[in-house]
Amino acid sequence: MARIEEQQKAIFSLKTNLMDDLNEKGLLSDPECQRVLEQHQRDQAVLSEKLDSQRAKQERVSFDTPRLDKSFTADFNTQLILKRMIACFYDLR
């Protein structure tokens, strides 16, 4: 997770530097460039909403997954061991 955050920070830094360079050269004041940037921002907002929705859905699924009660698991393991011991006992006779 930390690696993804580092990559996102690096991408943000590169994007910021690129925008600064384009702004210094006066390219961002071009109407066509403005239109492209606005469309990109809208697309990014839609994508961000989709990612947030999917993340929330995954979190709901992971929280809704039933967990086995530890006492049930311990009882089941005990029964399994007893069955194996009994089977072993009868095999030795």
pTM: predicted TM-score of the whole model, two decimal places: 0.47
pLDDT at residue 93 in the model? 47
Counting the structural domains of the chain, the total is 1
Give mean pLDDT in consecutive 10-residue pieces for the chain, a chain of 93 residues.
84 86 82 84 89 85 58 62 69 55
CA atoms 56, 57, 62, 65: torsion sign: positive
Buried b (16+ CB within 10 A) or exposed e, 26-45: eeeeeeeeeeeeeeeeeeee
CA distance 79 to 85: 10
pLDDT at residue 76 in the model? 64
Asked if residue 93 belongs to a domain, the reply is no
Asked if residue 87 belongs to a domain, the reply is no
Asked if residue 41 belongs to a domain, the reply is yes
* Rg from Cα positions in the chain: 29
Domain span at residue 35 reads 2-67
Asked if residue 43 belongs to a domain, the reply is yes
Buried b (16+ CB within 10 A) or exposed e, 6-17: eeeeeeeeeeee
